[in-house]
Structure 1
Amino acid sequence: MNVLKYGSRPFRRTALATALGVSLACGGVAHAQSNASGVIFGHADDAAGATVHIVNVDTGLSRDVPLPADGRFRATSLPVGHYKVSLERNGTTVATRDVQVNIGSGTDVSFAAAASAATATSLEGVQVTGTALPAIDVSSVDSRTVLTAEQLQRIPVASNVNAAALLAPGVVSGDSRYGGVVSFGGASAAENQYYINGFAVTNPLTGLGFATLPFDAIDQQQILTGGYGAEYGRSTGGVVNLTTKRGGNTWKFGAQVQWSPRALKADPRNIYYPKTSGNVTDGALYQYRKGNKTTDTLYGLYFSGPLIKDKLFVYAAADVVRQDGSDGVTNVLTQTSFDGPLKANHWLGKIDWNITDSHILELTGIGDTNLNDTTIYSYDYETLSRKALIGSEHQKNIGTANSTPGGIMYIGKYTGYITDSLTIDALYGHSKTDHVDNVSGAAGVVCPNIVDNRNVPAAQKRVSCAPVQGNLIAPGAQDKVKNWRFDVQYSIGDHDLRVGIDNQTAESYGGLAVQGGALWTYSTPPASGTVSGFPELAIPPGSTEIVRRQIFRAAGNVKVEQEAQFIEDHWQISQNWLAYLGLRNEQFKNFNTDGVVFVKQRHQLAPRLGVTWDVFGDSTLKIYANAGRYHLAIPSNVAIRGAGPQLFERQYFTYSGIDPTTNAPINPTPISDIHYANGADGSAPDPKTLSAKNLSAYYQDEYILGFDKQLSTDWTIGAKATYRKLKSVIDDICDSRPIEAWAEKNNVTISPDAEIPGCLLFNPGKGNTFTIDLDADGRYEQVKLTKEDLGFPDLKRKYLALNLYVEHQFNNQFYGRAEYVWSHSFGNSEGLLKSDIGQLDPSVTQDWDYPELMIGSNGPLPSDRRHQLKAYGFWQATPEWLFGANLSAMSGRPKNCLGVRDPDVYQYGSSYFYCDGEAPRGSRGRLPWTYQLALSAEYRPAMFNHDLSLKVDVFNLFNQQREQNIDETYQTADGTLSPTYGRPLSFSVPRSFRLTARYDFSL
């Protein structure tokens, strides 16, 4: 055994530094910890000749800590898990405590002078018993929730990371069009960071979603909702940090089957046209959805154990998930039906090597593959029956809005306890994801996209002969991510210091192209005889129908390099006061499709400050505060959409007929010139002109003030106030008028040959300087424009929240937590996304393209759920029976009305906060409250030594299906009233049952 001596310097720590609460739901940072490990620390009243012996119960990893005169001790960077901590004197064990070390948290283990016998608590398996340790963490300044594997098994929650994240306060579901992602503290759903064993697994292209792993392989899930330290960056929303299970000295095996049968699922609500649209479709059926449900089955296996006892361990787990049995039906416009299995294969393998007790090596491999093979049929809405086969679609690692990146990941981590005071951590990870989106239609037929906006009965509307519509992923699309970190921790006097680097490189080949080569949109000509935005268009007399052709294509290789350095200090100011001081310095570089840097940002300084006051010095009342700045890099998607070749072409036609097979127009005759939206004519822009000079990074400031109070051994209450203000964003401006005005003012003639991008990256709400060769003479002009020249309002996104909670610690029978959050998220920009229309273009939304789009944009944002109530817990009624509950009640999302403002010179259609007059953001009321109750019951028969588990979960017990988001576009692009304005886009998930059989055994 390698003995590390911690007594070389005096530890002057009080209860503030040592009394770290250990609760089953929440933990806190304890002095400069890695994001995948934890700390054990405390004191002994009688330290003379004593040593604290720490042993990982599962792996045998041990550390001896000789006690200094003041009795204070601390062991850092411990792998999460179950530990036995013993106080030994003269070779005799005086007292013993069994504790759980949580991710990024500290565990206080103190020994009173009267301790004369061992006391133990067990956290083995799911038979968890409570501890008498303090419930309040007086050494942390952040806001976090930590969920253990035992809790995730006991609380009725869906088996996915985002569903578990929704248990944390201030976390709400994002727009359904983004694929089940979540929003933290008023930020958009693309502003979060996800980690597995310290490796960043966030989608590198859009920031939406993350690669996942077998849910049962999660040992702990940490959810940071604010105030986190300088080790974390690239997030202005929240952080989800996962650690996986690992092998130990006992061979363990297990298998489970989760079955959610279609027959036990409630029918999804049908969707109808709104009754106030004024069209022939009023109140008619839009989508028949009663068959849109599947049978979901999960088969899971795992094994773990020692390859060499106390030295080398293995853990492996695999899930096969299958969804099938759907009679899914699309809407009445596309008139198709679909079925076919969705398959997800997840695996994880982990090797832990205790080289010595001072050197640890961890190797992790993860596979995440999602396959969707869909067979598509025509569907008759008159008879509500399936008809002929149309084709099929094969997708891999795409998911809704590319929110499931998937792929293969490999992670290596080294931890070295070099001296009594010095610890180092090093990590390297690599991932690769392939994206496939193949569509097969009728043999030999090219099927364009078709949209029919004519004011005719639904039965007469035309649809595409393609099995799916929209834009498809470019062939060969893939993502690659490399991430390396190196941290050094050093303790000196009353300071615990930590410095580190955190570098990541993300490369992507991606892009989109319209299915079938073009999108044809049929419409009835407006009564005015002209189409808004096409002043050159004159509709021929007698024409009762026109069609618009739209062609879109954008693809290429892009790269983002993100580097960061950080330093932090946990400083014990006095007996009752502790300060956290942190600084993160970040650098971002974005490369275009030709490998040239088009945005470079250096010295993005993010200070993080915090203080905590242990009022009475006994960890029963804590008051804390923190302030911090948090940055985001520009997602890779920006380079594809803004820095690479892009074609976005529109043109209007009349026609002589409609092809009966493809539904494309016959003999289309142009009645307008070609319009390139925002100048996207298929050529790549000059990288020097793509962005404003000295572009400021995307960043947000945050302030938190709160308290926690222990009422008794079991009960804790607390309150917290949070204020967030978005200070800077990066988006694109597509308005050439300020540049033209500058040229006229400065006597510069804009040449027809000048290469001016259609859209430029800039910092909205303030002045910007652009570098452009306006007169095509080979010399770049510095076009300096003030905020007034650009004509935009100040950037505004603010988040206010008040959080109240009450928690009952687990006492061998019952655990529960209830939390109420009042919050207000408001401003004129959601951030990276625009959920009003479900736009998937992070950092290049349409919000800031033209000043006219921002008129009326200030108001409650899509994430503004004013009232949130969450409560969850479980009751161990007997050793055999356990019952769980999970309740969520939430107020509805604000409603908007987006219409056409005349004149719509730039052809943005129904994109303005204007509907027959001003319609400011959020002025059309709110969607209804949503209430969700999930219950569970688990039976572990004694005859199987409680190793067999039979469990039933019911989700959305009362089958309340409320609107989650709606179609907010009031008019079509041509200015006519949209028949789908106000139509629900998604509802709460219907009631379902999940039946689980699980068996665990050891050798």
Structure 2
Amino acid sequence: MSSSRHVRKTALSIALGLGLAVAFPAAYAANNDGSVSGHTKAGAMVTVTNPETGLTRKVTADANGNYRFPFLPVGQYTLSATVDGQPVAPSRNVTVALGTTTAVDIGAVRATNLSAISVTSSVLPVIDVSSTESATIVSRAELSRLPVDQNVTSVALLAPGVVKGNSNFGGISFGGSSVAENAFYVNGLNVTDFYNRNGFSEAPFAFYDQFQVKTGGYSVEFGRTTGGVVNAVARSGTNEFHAGTEITMEPSSWHSSADDHYTPDGRRYITASRDTESLIKTNVWASGPIVKDKLFFFAMYEARGNSPSNTNNAGTVMTDNQADTGFWGTTIDWNVTDNNTLSLMAFSDKNHNVGDVYAYDFDTDTRGKRTNQVFTDTGGRNWALTWTSYLTNDLSMKLMVGRNERESFTRSQLDLACNVVAASSALLDINDPGVPLGCTTSSTVYKRNDVRKQGRADFEWTLGDHLLRFGYDHENNTSDYARHYAGPGAYYYNVYAASTGATIPNGATLPAGYIGYVRARRYEIAGTFTTVDSAYYLEDNWQVTPNLVLNAGLRNDSFDNQDAAGHSYIKMDKQIAPRLGFSWDMKGDGSTKLFGNLGRYYLPVANVINIKQAGGLLDERTYYAFDGWEIKTIDGTQYAVPKLGPQLGNVDTSQGDGTVGDLRSEVDRNMDPVYQDEAILGFQQMLDASWSWGVSGTYRRLHNAIDDMEISATPQCGGDGYVGWVMANPGKKVTVWGDTNCDGNADGYITIDTSKQGWAMYDADGNYLGQRGWVKPKRTYAALELQLNRAWDEKWAFNASYVMSWNRGNAEGPVNSDTNFDDTGRTENFDDPWVNLGGDGYLPNDRRHQLKVRGTYALTPHWQLGGDLDVHSGGPITGFGVGNPYDATNYHSYFICVQNCESPVSEDRVYERSPRGKYGRLPWTYTLGASLSYLRPFEGGNLRVKLAVYNLLNQQRTVQVDQDLQTDISSSTNPTFLRPLGFQSPRFTQLTVAVDF
């Protein structure tokens, strides 16, 4: 047989197996493997075998010829069917991908229109006609051909509708959600940061085999997220010994310089051009059998040297960082029997960084003596042990236990001697001391160790045309936490510009003769805090007809956030999340699919809430008039600290006085959880053997928020009866322990309808005017998505997606990226009723247009050219004020004062609304990456060299601006309003050399 005929025959087999024949209902697989299902002769013995590991499983087809293999490790398999020992048809080659079901009819293919598929290669796009979720699968092989940086975030950003957050705290946004709403898994182990929910534990990049990025419609086994899911599986060993090494180099000379930025009068306010970064990683790995066909290993070690240097914005301090840490990962897989396997996955991302801090002179590019050392420890060890068992022909089980650890420990040599000092740009424009502020760059002595202990059980049970999937998922998430500011008294000094008579945050006014004020803040807390999350789920996948699949599922989540004493602080259960979906194979040949789903998803409360609201937090803020700078010297280096003028007003401990109060008065006893409803309708079609396209529409609506609110009045006592700061649902009824008989003492539960009540209003003479309530949180996301895909055929591959979306509301989520507030669940949005009044509009993660294109072209058998383009429009720009036409003057607001602003009487001031997005949008950004790869097989191995350039055009467009239009009650505009603050990362080049044996 000629080679071309062999290719066509192979391609036809794969097309029949992967693209054309669909027989069984389930599209879903557990979160670290895949499945194979299909149709054959009734009663046939169906056998699936992984020739690389010897893993063999057998099932008997039912009376209708249906069969299914769940919980299969990803990889390449052969599939055969026999009746009375005689083959039903030739065996098939099958690819099992992460989180998907591969459908294969063998020996009993239903009538299909084969002429609709033009078979031209052995690699074909596949439409999973039994799946109702929206997901993108990216393999290690595809990533090796593309200019994608070596981190999980860069992989997630390949998926449609996923964008970077435009804030100091970074993160990624899925479908209009905030960056604190996502979930990340490795081999079924949840590695999401549960303290603040912005981040995750990350194995060395060479450890991963496949990624699945879920952007919507995910099944009931996934929860605790209202954003997206990144699901990864690690590499594993086979019956053949293999080994290799990979070196990744990014010399500092291969990084373009970032731009410095200047004020209109020529003062530099961002110093970045002298920042440098150098990275080298050396990865060695080996895999193979310990016992052939039974026991396998994969092990790798990565030595990583990372040495970035960066200046402070004033250009007076240079910090040289050095991280030289070894990362490792391993998997061990044991085929105990044909029906039972045991797998271990483990990795470490522990990292130790030392930052040497030097005095620096930007103008002469010289550094002085070392002034400090900052030490930072992050990461931890992680593992998951999984037992998979075929209990009967129709019932399968998977059990997993695991542990995820994340350490964060920051300290410096000057923690005892030096306070941190910061000043607003507006103040420095008026009075710049000319020397560094403070004598330390380490703001806190901070130590936190987060440990997740996870266990879950997943089952699949086939009952005729129904596939039942059910399971239990339990997590015990513990944070051991301690934090305080550095320096004498543990104070952090912030200096702000303000005019005479201006009202400062504690309600006092700035006296004449001063140009600003100082906030001296103490912030201390310590303790061990635990959250227990658990869930049951049940799902029925019903093959209604050979071409129509319906699935209906329920997930029941419960969240129990506990204080340092182990008492429940916020406890919510019976959170029923229904999921409904359908998938219609419209032509019956696997080439065209219409699908849709409806789902509800719940979001847990981050551990930061346990700690800061129920942990004896001391948040003491004392305000002083700014009386100029005092120049001090330490170890021969000059620095400035503010001179404290007269104290202004009382010490503010409203955010925490160091004690744990009666938690019954600090949390709503009947609190409702945060959840999101989602609807998706989509269409996919194979155009030929290589090309496919799809279109889908998505609508998401977020319900509720859990946030801190200051309830200053209760209806029971005629507007008196101060309760204080309460974690609750803004705009809903709140039940807390309070004063029922108006004697000034809390003695029972009271209920306040916060949509109408809870905040006392007074006139300038102190007369009570009544109460005001909170607006309800709102967030919606609507999107139209188009995709076009060409599968890799050893010559070229192409993928393009376009998303047009609208993200509206008055609440971004549990963090605020437009005001850089990353304390998850403790935003300013609902502190009092005026903060969010008039705050409806386009939200920070609204990116109206997103275009993503990636592809690879083989110039010759040895040379490949890759490209990746990400284009999206910018987010809205809002001009925040600090007051409103009523009686509160603090926080960011959607009003600015325009007349009589110097008057101490709030009724005399005149305000106008400053709505979301009034000041236009951030610019479009264009990020282009390109790579050139050289491939050379040699006897016993392969050489791969890839040169990749990221942000090839060196775009450094603005992605963040100062959105504070007014910073105090005055008619003047903040001089730094609209000043660019964040930018695209400059161009850099990366060389990767890999040798595999």
For the pair 1:931 / 2:926, whether they are aligned, the reply is yes
1:137: how far off? 1.4
Query: Is the counterpart of residue 264 in structure 1 residue 254 in structure 2?
Result: yes
Query: Separation in 2 of the partners of 1:259 and 1:492?
Result: 54
Are the structure 2 counterparts of residues 689 and 959 from structure 1 closer, same or farther at C-alpha, using a change threshold of 3 Å? same
Distance (Å, rounded) in 2 between the aligned partners of 1:554 and 1:655? 31
In 1, Cα distance between the equivalents of 2:679 and 2:306?
Answer: 44
Name which of structure 1's ranges 344-353 and 764-773 shifts more when overlaid on structure 2.
764-773
Matched, 1:651 2:634: no
Q: CA deviation at 1:889?
A: 0.8
Name the counterpart of 2:80. 86
CA drift of 1:434 comes to 2.7
Separation in 1, partners of 2:310, 2:823? 28
Q: In the superposition, relative to structure 1, how do residues 873 and 744 fare at CA in structure 2: closer, same or farther (>3 Å)?
A: same
Q: Is the 8 A contact 1:532 1:902 kept in 2?
A: no
Shift of 1:379: 2.3
Q: Is the 8 A contact 1:656 1:667 kept in 2?
A: yes
**What residue ranges of structure 2 are gaps of 5+ in the alignment?**
1-12, 111-119, 759-772, 899-911
Q: 1:308 aligns with which of 275, 281, 291?
A: 291
Partner in structure 2 of residue 856 of structure 1:
838
2:797 maps to a residue whose letter is: Y
One-letter code aligned to 2:567: V
Q: Secondary structure, in 3 states, of the residue corresponding to 1:145?
A: strand
Please give the alpha-carbon distance, in whole angstroms, between the structure 2 residues aligned to 1:513 and 1:130.
62
Counterpart among 770, 779, 787 of residue 747 in structure 2: 779
RMSD: 2.8
Deviation, structure 1 residue 573: 1.1
Deviations 1:690-743 (Å, cap 9, x if unpaired)?
21121001100000011111221211111000000001221110241x33x542
Q: Distance in 2 between matches of 1:252 and 1:152?
A: 20
Alpha-carbon contact 1:596-1:687 (below 8 Å) kept: no
Alignment of 1:115-514 (within 5 A): 131=122, 135-179=126-170, 181-273=171-263, 275=264, 282-324=265-307, 326-332=308-314, 335-397=316-378, 406-441=379-414, 445-451=417-423, 453-454=426-427, 456=429, 460-461=433-434, 463-470=436-443, 472-475=444-447, 477-514=448-485
SS in 2 for 1:95: coil
Could you say which residue in structure 2 is the equivalent of 1:888? 870
Q: Aligned residue for 1:982?
A: 978
Q: State how far apart, in whole Å, the 1-side matches of 2:995 and 2:17 are.
A: 38
Residues 451, 462 of structure 1: 8 Å contact kept: no
State the shift of 1:31 in Å: 4.1
* 8 Å CA contact 1:41, 1:109 repeated in 2: yes
Q: State the Cα distance separating 1:498 from its structure 2 match.
A: 1.2
Assess, with a 3 A threshold, how the Cα gap between structure 1 residues 575 and 673 changes in structure 2: closer, same or farther: same
Which letter does structure 2 place at the counterpart of 1:693?
R
**Conserved 8 A contact 1:272-1:983:** no
Question: Is the alpha carbon distance of 1:382 and 1:375 closer, same or farther for their aligned partners in structure 2, counting shifts above 3 Å?
Answer: same
Q: How far, CA to CA, are the matches of 1:310 and 1:48 in structure 2?
A: 30
**Residues 1:763 and 2:729 aligned together:** yes
**Alignment partner of 1:63 out of 41, 44, 57:** 57
Residues 890-909 of structure 1 show CA distances to partners (whole Å, capped at 9, x for unaligned) of 11121111222268976635
String of CA shifts for 1:268-326, please: whole Å, max 9, x gaps.
Answer: 121223x3xxxxxx4421122112121111111111111101111111112222222x4
1:845 aligns with 2:827: yes
SS at match of 1:503: strand
Query: How far does residue 72 in structure 1 lie from its aligned partner after superposition?
Result: 3.4
1:923-1002 aligned at under 5 Å gives the runs: 923-943=918-938, 947-972=942-967, 977-1001=973-997
Can you give the 5+ residue segments of structure 1 that lack an aligned partner in the other structure? 1-14, 116-128, 276-281, 398-405
Does residue 14 of structure 2 align to residue 38 of structure 1? no
Distance 1:666 1:357, change over 3 A: closer
Are 1:836 and 2:783 an aligned pair? Answer: no
Equivalent position to 1:806, from 772, 778, 788: 788
Which amino acid letter does the alignment assign opposite residue 39 of structure 1? S
Q: Which residue, 563, 568, 573 being the options, matches 2:544?
A: 573
Change over 3 Å in CA distance of 1:788–1:666 after alignment to 2? closer
CA-CA distance at 1:240 after TM superposition:
0.7
Distance 2:506 2:203 in 1: 51
Q: What is the SS of the residue equivalent to 1:152? A: helix
Range with bigger deviation, 188-197 or 706-715: 706-715
Q: Secondary structure at the match of 1:947?
A: strand
Instruction: Tell me whether 976-985 or 844-853 shows the greater mean CA deviation.
Output: 976-985
Distance 1:69 1:980, change over 3 A: same
1:824 to 803, 806, 822: 806
- Output the amino acid matched with 1:927: L
Contact 2:941/2:996 (8 A) holds in 1: no
Q: 2:684 aligns with which of 703, 708, 723?
A: 708
Summarize the Cα distance change of 1:112–1:875 in structure 2 as closer, same or farther, 3 Å threshold.
farther
State the 1:417 CA deviation.
0.4
- Structure 1 residues 69, 838: CA separation in 2 closer, same or farther (over 3 Å shift)? same
Cα distance in 2 between the residues matched to 1:912 and 1:462:
36
**SS of the counterpart of 1:853?**
coil
Is 1:743 equivalent to 2:704 in the alignment?
no
Query: For 1:638, what is the secondary structure of its paired residue?
Result: helix
Structure 1 partner of 2:909 = none
For residues 228 and 628 of structure 2, the distance between their equivalents in structure 1, rounded to whole angstroms, comes to: 55
Does the Cα contact within 8 Å between 2:419 and 2:492 map onto a contact in 1? no
Cα deviation for residue 340 of structure 1 reads 2.4
Matched, 1:674 2:657: no
The answer to which of 758-767 and 713-722 deviates more is: 758-767
Q: Which moved more, 1:694-703 or 1:343-352?
A: 343-352
CA offset digits 1:940-981 (Å, max 9, x no partner):
124456601111111111111111112222334575654433
Map 1:727-742; keep pairs closer than 5 Å. 727-736=703-712, 738-739=713-714, 741-742=715-716
Q: Map of 1:624-643 to 2, 5 A cutoff?
A: 624-643=595-614
Change beyond 3 A, Cα 1:194–1:521: closer
Change (3 A) 1:946 1:657: closer
TM-score, structure 1 normalization:
0.88
Query: What amino acid is aligned across from residue 162 of structure 1 in structure 2?
Result: T
* Identity %, equivalent residues: 33
The CA distance in 1 between the partners of 2:327 and 2:886, in whole Å, is 49
Out of 487, 492, 496, which is 1:519 matched to? 492
Give the partner amino acid of 2:441: V
Contact 1:391 1:467 in 2 (8 A): yes
Contact 1:522 1:547 in 2 (8 A): yes
**Secondary structure at the residue paired with 2:815?**
coil
What is the SS of the residue equivalent to 2:353? strand
**In the alignment, which of 91, 97, 107 is matched to residue 96 of structure 1?**
91
Measured after TM superposition, the shift of residue 496 of structure 1 is 0.2
Q: Is the 8 A contact 2:503 2:889 kept in 1?
A: no
Counterpart of 1:810 in structure 2: which amino acid?
W
Shift of 1:131: 3.8
Q: Give the TM-score normalised by structure 2.
A: 0.89
Q: 1:777 to 1:928 in 2, by over 3 A?
A: closer
Deviation at 1:178, TM superposition (A): 1.8
Secondary structure of 1:454's partner? Answer: helix
CA 1:904–1:782: 2 relative to 1, 3 Å: closer
Is the CA contact 1:248–1:305 (under 8 Å) kept in the aligned structure 2?
A: yes
Which residue is equivalent to 2:113? none
Change (3 A) 1:48 1:233: closer
Q: What CA distance in whole angstroms lies between the structure 2 residues aligned with 1:924 and 1:538?
A: 30
What one-letter code is carried by the residue in structure 1 that aligns with 2:977?
Y
- Give the letter for the 1:947 counterpart: N
Provide the C-alpha distance between the structure 2 equivalents of 1:998 and 1:386, rounded to a whole number of angstroms: 38
